[in-house]
Amino acid sequence: MTFDEAVYNAVRTIPKGKVATYGMIALLIGRPRAARQVGGSLHRNPYFGDVPCHRVVNREGRLAPAFAFGGQNVQADLLAREGVPTELRDGLLFVDLNEYLWRP
């Protein structure tokens, strides 16, 4: 089990219509302090259609920079299709964590 595999596995468990934070994923894979590497793994290996990396946001509910997804419009569309509205503020996409944060 590599770090990357653990990350992808955890991200796949995020239910449709919800989002999770990097810190939460790190905790799920047994590396509570490796939130950065969670993002790093997704950055290196974004298997679109397999790992829903658009459901992973930072602690503020802000999504990753647009370039990481090939365009923020793509990302916003993916979330919108799952029933997760995004708020565009100052060029950055935000999700309402109080409503859409995944709570196991």
Partner DNA sequence: TAGATGACTAATA
Partner DNA sequence: CTATTAGCCATCT
Let me know if 4 is exposed, middle or buried by CB neighbors in 10 A (0-12, 13-18, 19+).
middle
Q: Annotated catalytic, 53?
A: yes
Residue type, 92: L
Cα atoms in the Cβ-side hemisphere of radius 13 Å centred on 85: 5
CB distance 55 to 34 below 8 Å: no
Q: Of these residues, 6, 14, 53, 56, which one is catalytic?
A: 53
Q: 21, 79, 93, 95: which one contacts DNA (CB under 7 A)?
A: 21
Question: 33-72 mask for DNA (x: CB under 7 A)?
Answer: xxxxxxxxxxxx-x------xx-x-xxx--xxx--xx---
What amino acid positions are annotated as catalytic residues? 53
Q: Which residues bind DNA (CB under 7 A)?
A: 2-4, 21-23, 31, 33-44, 46, 53-54, 56, 58-60, 63-65, 68-69
